């Protein structure tokens, strides 16, 4: 097969708007009784797996879904991200009828569901409005934080109004894909693990009523399998299901859910194939490689569920990637920030390749389904190696600043209408001041401190005890605080003792900046959303400094694919893992697409670069924003196999 033709077929199928013939609505298309789901009248055991379309380039959707079907799955569970679908109030960005950009990332959830159906899969929708998912603010759009009086995940009228508009608009996109109309959509989840958060049943029943008015298929809830989470999350007349350990969870569901209108077949809606990764010098990559006992436990649990004709969804079947600034964080009385990679140790890895876990789980599932109905897995697409090349300093971040907002005191990102990226606060001292610097109530999230263009230290909220940085300012000295949003909290640990983190999404600086006991007044504030790197057409007047302690620098270079003229492999199908071995921390853009963050501390040491981003012919531009430059050039290479590892944090020796 010529890979070029295969790629064209993938791309066309992924982004085309294929009209699904709608049959007359049938409320009996997917039903259940106390013990069994029924699809068109026949018993149906849900053998599912989670894959979120907005984390995966659209040209690869069919390949990933075909591999799901070939593992024996019959259903795909999908979160959808409100913040990508409605990036600003009233702006609906579903990409319908549009070609995906060079990255292939698309919000056309309907197209994803159509492809799933074509590959023999049904789907279950998890629309939120809150989805957790280790995603930035649990999928909430950042603009919600700017609405005065808004209280998320509650029956607050402002939030309910915004959530209803979102859900109604999403339902309109997906209406004809419901199983009642001949489509693959079987069920819709009400909120997400709400019982772990609160007990505002007016909120969850309100969501139930919105979803009932806009969908024809059954609804369900998904909560942890203990008494208090089930009590908080149950919704009358909505099927109650659990996640986590199926052994204790199933028993808890049947013990603590007593309302008959909430009872039905048992389903583990999130059976964890492993776990996501956090940035940290001591946080190793989560993987089943070299852990046979963990794989054996997965097999035992699958046998337990499927052997009793109960249903399950593997979370994640395929994790994908937190491209750009889209990762979330957990609040543990410090900010535990998730990596760019959402590999999750899944049976289909971040780049969509099958692995040992995939085939072990496939063998287990095939014991419970007719083997002749399950196709053989498609071949994994080849990977590309890119020889090392050098990026030269191009321009300083502080040389790209636009017009500042001037304020007596600092204001947050959200007050300035900025959602993601970095923000710079600049103060010119009018008097002598000396002491420990405090950036508002706390670091939100990582603050690099400069005096007269020289780095003095880093205050980093990913540590339970962020470093203290002392400064000494004389009249005329320039204090700069570069603040990075490392991802809004999407969840919290119970050990933190507070739920406030989700209701406190503010980034930048909240409150006064003090040095010693003195609050500093008079600030210039520069928004740095970094939606794209600086244009290469801009005039460069001087080379930026790159020695240790210098402000951030953009590095730039181009490379050609340099494919053999006789090679019929389409380079647009060749993924690679881009490594920046000399970098400390920053972001990488390839042909204008933000691959995400890198950080020397690990565990992630390379960034997934989908072949969809690369240009088959001509120059491919690589731009790196290195936040802590220390070398004159940055070396970059693309590897066929990814690197995981941890190194000491140079800012916290």
Q: What are the residues whose beta carbons fall under 8 Å from the beta carbon of 626, sequence distance 6 or more? A: 552, 553, 554, 555, 580, 583, 584, 585, 586, 634
Alpha helix locations (H) across 119-257?
157-174, 201-214, 227-233, 246-256
As a whole number of angstroms, the distance between CA 53 and CA 177 comes to 16
Cβ atoms of 203 and 211 closer than 8 Å: no
Q: What average pLDDT does this structure show over 32-59?
A: 97
Torsion-angle region of 592 (φ positive above 0: left; ψ -120 to 50: alpha; else: beta)? left
As a whole number of angstroms, the distance between CA 383 and CA 575 comes to 5
Q: Is 409 exposed, middle or buried (0-12, 13-18, 19+ CB in 10 A)?
A: middle
- CA distances (Å), 68 to each of 74, 341, 377, 576, 632, in order? 8, 20, 8, 22, 46
Higher pLDDT, 367 or 535: 367
How high is the pLDDT of residue 541?
58
How high is the pLDDT of residue 11?
43
Closest listed residue to residue 505, CA positions, set 405, 597, 420, 410: 420
As a whole number of angstroms, the distance between CA 360 and CA 345 comes to 14
As a whole number of angstroms, the distance between CA 465 and CA 652 comes to 11
As a whole number of angstroms, the distance between CA 473 and CA 493 comes to 39
State both tokens at 448: 């690099």
How high is the pLDDT of residue 502?
82
Q: What are the residues whose beta carbons fall under 8 Å from the beta carbon of 434, sequence distance 6 or more? A: 470, 471, 472, 473, 515, 516
Catalogue the active-site residues: 193, 270
Q: What average pLDDT does this structure show over 167-173?
A: 98
For the domain covering 3-373, report its CATH number: 3.20.20.80
How high is the pLDDT of residue 157?
98
Q: Is the pLDDT of residue 429 over 50?
A: yes
Would you call 416 helix, strand, or coil by DSSP? Answer: helix
Q: What average pLDDT does this structure show over 455-468?
A: 97
Q: What average pLDDT does this structure show over 531-549?
A: 79
Q: Is the pLDDT of residue 76 over 60?
A: yes
Domain with CATH 3.20.20.80 in the chain: 3-373
How high is the pLDDT of residue 229?
96
- CA distances (Å), 329 to each of 25, 101, 194, 276, 529, in order? 41, 27, 18, 11, 19
- Among the ranges given (175-179, 429-433, 567-571), the one the predictor scored with the smallest mean pLDDT: 567-571
Write out the DSSP string of 93-106.
---TTS---TT---
Confidence of residue 327 (pLDDT cuts 50, 70, 90): very high
The model's pTM: 0.93
Architecture of the domain spanning 401-528: Sandwich (2.60)
As a whole number of angstroms, the distance between CA 276 and CA 268 comes to 19
How high is the pLDDT of residue 10?
41
Higher pLDDT, 616 or 486: 486
- Residues facing 223 on adjacent strands: 242
Q: Is the pLDDT of residue 96 over 90?
A: no
Name the CATH superfamily for 386-395+536-639: Galactose-binding domain-like (2.60.120.260)
- CA distances (Å), 432 to each of 238, 523, 585, in order? 64, 17, 33
Q: What average pLDDT does this structure show over 244-266?
A: 98
Give the DSSP letter of residue 180: G
As a whole number of angstroms, the distance between CA 413 and CA 122 comes to 41
Q: Which helix (H) or strand (E) holds 365?
A: helix 356-365
Cβ atoms of 215 and 170 closer than 8 Å: no
SS (HEC) of 45-89: CCEEEECCHHHCCHHHHHHHHHHHHHCCCCEEEEECCHHHHCCCC
As a whole number of angstroms, the distance between CA 361 and CA 372 comes to 17
Would you call 496 helix, strand, or coil by DSSP? Answer: helix
Cβ atoms of 71 and 358 closer than 8 Å: yes
- Among the ranges given (199-203, 569-573, 600-604), the one the predictor scored with the smallest mean pLDDT: 569-573
Cβ atoms of 263 and 272 closer than 8 Å: no
How high is the pLDDT of residue 501?
74
Could you give the angle at which helices 109-118 and 3-15 cross, rounded to 10 degrees?
Answer: 120
As a whole number of angstroms, the distance between CA 446 and CA 449 comes to 10
Higher pLDDT, 545 or 328: 328
How high is the pLDDT of residue 4?
40
Closest listed residue to residue 498, CA positions, set 330, 333, 329, 328: 333
Domain with CATH 2.60.120.260 in the chain: 386-395+536-639, 401-528
Q: Is the pLDDT of residue 7 over 80?
A: no
- The total of other beta-carbon atoms located within 10 Å of residue 231's CB is 14
Torsion-angle region of 165 (φ positive above 0: left; ψ -120 to 50: alpha; else: beta)? alpha
Q: Is the pLDDT of residue 568 over 60?
A: no
- Among the ranges given (16-25, 298-307, 402-411), the one the predictor scored with the smallest mean pLDDT: 16-25
As a whole number of angstroms, the distance between CA 373 and CA 475 comes to 77
As a whole number of angstroms, the distance between CA 190 and CA 208 comes to 6
Confidence of residue 653 (pLDDT cuts 50, 70, 90): confident
Detail the DSSP E strand segments found in 300-404. Answer: 311-315, 329-331, 335-337, 386-396
How high is the pLDDT of residue 563?
62
How high is the pLDDT of residue 567?
55
Cβ atoms of 130 and 192 closer than 8 Å: yes
Confidence of residue 99 (pLDDT cuts 50, 70, 90): low
pLDDT tens track for 291-302:
999 999 999 999
State both tokens at 124: 């279950």
The chain-wide mean pLDDT, for the chain, equals 92
As a whole number of angstroms, the distance between CA 15 and CA 100 comes to 7
pLDDT tens track for 632-643:
999 999 999 998
Q: Is the pLDDT of residue 41 over 80?
A: yes
Cβ atoms of 265 and 310 closer than 8 Å: yes
Which pairing describes strands 185-189 and 219-224: parallel, antiparallel, or unpaired?
Answer: parallel
Q: Is 408 exposed, middle or buried (0-12, 13-18, 19+ CB in 10 A)?
A: exposed
Q: Is the pLDDT of residue 151 over 80?
A: yes
As a whole number of angstroms, the distance between CA 76 and CA 124 comes to 6
Angle at 576 between CA 603 and CA 105, to 5 degrees: 90
């Amino acid at each position: 097969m010529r890979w070029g033709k295969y790629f064209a077929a993938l791309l066309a199928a992924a982004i085309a708007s294929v009209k699904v013939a709608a049959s007359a609505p049938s409320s009996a298309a997917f039903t259940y009784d106390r013990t069994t789901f029924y699809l068109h009248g026949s018993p149906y055991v849900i053998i599912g797996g989670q894959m979120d379309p907005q984390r995966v380039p659209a040209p690869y959707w069919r390949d990933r879904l075909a591999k799901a079907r070939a593992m024996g799955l019959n259903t795909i569970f999908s979160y959808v991200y409100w913040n990508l679908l409605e990036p600003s109030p009233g702006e609906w960005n579903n990409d319908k009828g549009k070609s995906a950009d060079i990255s292939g990332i698309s919000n056309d959830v309907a197209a994803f569901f159509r492809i799933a159906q074509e590959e023999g899969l049904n789907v279950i929708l998890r629309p939120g409005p809150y989805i957790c998912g280790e995603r930035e603010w649990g999928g909430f759009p950042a603009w919600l934080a700017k609405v005065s009086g808004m209280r998320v995940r509650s029956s607050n009228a402002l939030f309910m109004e915004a959530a209803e508009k979102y859900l109604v608009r999403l339902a309109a996109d997906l209406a004809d894909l419901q199983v009642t109309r001949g489509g693959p959509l079987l069920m819709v989840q009400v909120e997400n693990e709400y019982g772990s958060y609160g007990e505002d049943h007016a909120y969850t029943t309100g969501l139930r009523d919105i979803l009932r008015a806009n969908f024809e298929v059954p609804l369900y809830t998904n909560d942890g399998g203990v008494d208090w989470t089930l009590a908080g999350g149950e919704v009358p007349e909505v099927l109650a299901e659990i996640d986590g350990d199926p052994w204790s969870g199933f028993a808890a569901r049947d013990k603590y859910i007593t309302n008959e209108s909430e009872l039905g077949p048992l389903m583990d809606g999130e059976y964890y194939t492993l776990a996501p990764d956090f940035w940290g010098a001591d946080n190793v990559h989560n993987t089943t490689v070299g852990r046979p006992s963990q794989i054996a436990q997965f097999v035992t649990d699958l046998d337990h569920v499927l052997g009793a004709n109960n249903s399950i969804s593997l979370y994640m079947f395929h994790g994908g990637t937190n491209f750009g600034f889209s990762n979330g964080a957990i609040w543990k009385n410090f900010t535990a920030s998730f990596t760019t990679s959402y590999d999750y140790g899944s049976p289909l890895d971040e780049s969509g390749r099958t692995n040992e876990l995939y085939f072990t789980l496939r063998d287990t599932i095939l014991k419970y389904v007719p083997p002749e109905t399950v196709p053989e897995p498609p071949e994994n697409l080849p990977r590309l190696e890119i020889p090392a090349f050098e990026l030269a300093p191009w321009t300083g971040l502080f040389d790209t600043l636009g017009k500042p907002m001037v304020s007596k005191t600092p204001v947050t990102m959200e007050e300035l209408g900025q959602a993601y990226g970095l923000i710079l606060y600049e103060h010119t001292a009018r008097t002598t001041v000396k002491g420990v610097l405090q950036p508002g109530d706390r670091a939100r999230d990582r603050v690099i401190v400069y005096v007269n263009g020289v780095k003095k230290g880093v205050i980093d909220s990913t540590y339970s005890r962020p470093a203290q940085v002392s400064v000494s300012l004389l009249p005329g000295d320039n204090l700069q605080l570069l603040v990075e949003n490392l991802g809004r909290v999407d969840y919290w640990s119970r050990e933190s003792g507070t739920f406030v983190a989700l209701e406190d999404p503010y980034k930048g600086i909240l409150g006064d900046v003090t040095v010693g006991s003195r609050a500093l007044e008079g600030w210039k504030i520069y928004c740095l959303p970094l939606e794209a790197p600086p244009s290469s057409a801009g005039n460069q007047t001087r080379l930026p400094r790159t020695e240790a302690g210098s402000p951030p620098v953009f590095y730039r270079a181009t490379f050609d694919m340099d494919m053999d003229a006789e090679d019929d492999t389409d380079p647009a199908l060749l993924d690679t893992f881009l490594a920046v071995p000399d970098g400390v921390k920053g972001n990488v853009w390839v042909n204008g697409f933000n691959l995400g963050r890198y950080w020397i501390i690990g565990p992630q040491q390379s960034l997934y670069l989908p072949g969809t981003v690369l240009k088959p012919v001509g120059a491919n531009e690589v731009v790196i924003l290195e936040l802590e430059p220390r070398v004159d050039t940055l070396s970059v290479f693309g590897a066929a196999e990814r690197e995981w590892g941890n190194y000491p944090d140079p800012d916290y020796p």
